[in-house]
Amino acid sequence: MRKIKIGTRSSRLALWQAEFVAAQLKKFFPALEVELVHVHTTGDKILDAPLAKIGGKGLFTKELELQLARGEIDLAVHSLKDVPTDLPAGFEIAAITRRAQPFDAFVSGKFSSFTELPENAIVGTSSLRRAAQLLKLRPDLRIKNLRGNVETRLKKLDAGEFDAIILAAAGLERLGYSSRIRELLTEIIPAAGQGALAIEIRDGDEKISELVNKLNDAETFSATSVEREFLREVGGSCQVPVGVFAQIDGVRLNVRALISSIDGKNFVAEKVEVPLHEIDGLGKKLAKTLLDDGGRKILDELQI
């Protein structure tokens, strides 16, 4: 192939991600011409409401998939954590890049660590998963919804609207804001796929699949597949506070997972470690364990 078109959202972070994928492809295929096609998604247009109330993760992928289906782009680049676990018919995740920093970052102009936050501090986040785990650690915190791109969120913090905000560390690092990270919140379990990029293509497009397969990181693919299997089994989306993180350590896989109520008062959590040859179906088994241990009750109450 001489030329391909990559579909991407128009935010600075999304463009960084698409340009990263384009640069990696050109390393393997120097003669390849790559064009970026900017697509405005519903999730980018609606910024005054929490994702949980306006439709969830598909808001960031639907318009890109429409262009894929029409052949207007050859592939789409997403943050894997934004990709629904069940793709519409006709699409597939052909590659997942090597995972960057998976954890959330504590960002504040006033306080150097999460533990320094005063009582009733105002903390900004758009994620129910983050909010629930923050309240689990500090029930006194006042969680305030925070939407918009990374720059918008940082401006709101700097304007004094929040005492601190919580953002994905990978996004901050990719945009050159590493200095804004006061602390990595390793106690907070990340979203499935956090820190990795997904390359979505038309199902069965062998030429594009062969190209992007060069960018696939097998270790990240295996770990995030377990995470997404867990999320799929519990019905996780932006509407429920669920965290899951899998990490390969030599020949073993370590997984942490959590299902929580929105206020963080009721939760079930589990840690497991298994040999790599036993990871088939692990996400589903772990989900069943948490659901049976009280997670199903928590999720049922969230639907009321």
Which DSSP string do the residues of 72-122 spell out, in sequence order? S-SEEEEEGGGS-SSPPTTEEEEEEPPP---SEEEE-SS-SSGGGPPTT-E
Instruction: Over range 240-255, report the average pLDDT.
Output: 95
pLDDT value of residue 207: 95
- With cut-offs at 50, 70 and 90, classify the pLDDT of residue 54: very low
Judge contact between 13 and 100, C-beta under 8 A.
Answer: no
Instruction: Over range 243-266, report the average pLDDT.
Output: 96
pLDDT value of residue 40: 79
Over 80: is that where the pLDDT of 44 sits?
Answer: no
Give tens-digit pLDDT for 139-192. 999 999 998 899 999 999 999 999 999 999 999 999 999 999 999 999 999 999
pLDDT value of residue 147: 87
Residues noted as catalytic: 82
pTM: 0.91
Provide the mean pLDDT of the chain. 92
∠ Cα 134 140 145 (to 5°): 55
Give tens-digit pLDDT for 275-284. 999 999 999 9
Over 60: is that where the pLDDT of 200 sits?
Answer: yes
pLDDT value of residue 236: 65
- With cut-offs at 50, 70 and 90, classify the pLDDT of residue 48: low
How far is Cα 105 from Cα 173, in angstroms, rounded to an integer?
Answer: 10
pLDDT value of residue 50: 54
Over 60: is that where the pLDDT of 47 sits?
Answer: no
DSSP secondary structure code for residue 264 in this structure: S
Q: Within 10 Å of residue 301's Cβ, how many Cβ atoms?
A: 11
pLDDT value of residue 53: 52
Phi, psi of 207 (to 5 degrees): -65, -45
Domains of the chain (ranges, CATH numbers): 3-98+196-216 (3.40.190.10), 104-185 (3.40.190.10), 230-302 (3.30.160.40)
pLDDT value of residue 238: 59
Q: Give the distance from CA 294 to its chain's centroid.
A: 25
Percent of the chain with pLDDT over 90: 87
pLDDT value of residue 43: 53
Instruction: Over range 16-22, report the average pLDDT.
Output: 97
How far is Cα 91 from Cα 75, in angstroms, rounded to an integer?
Answer: 10
**Could you tell me the two tokens for 82?**
């934004």
Higher pLDDT, 211 or 147: 211
Give tens-digit pLDDT for 212-243. 999 999 999 999 999 999 999 998 665 789 99
Which three-class secondary structure state does DSSP give residue 262?
Answer: coil
- With cut-offs at 50, 70 and 90, classify the pLDDT of residue 58: low
Nearby residues of 299 by Cβ (< 8 Å), 6 or more positions away:
234, 235, 240, 259, 291
- C-alpha neighbours within 13 Å on the C-beta side of residue 43: 25
- With cut-offs at 50, 70 and 90, classify the pLDDT of residue 76: very high
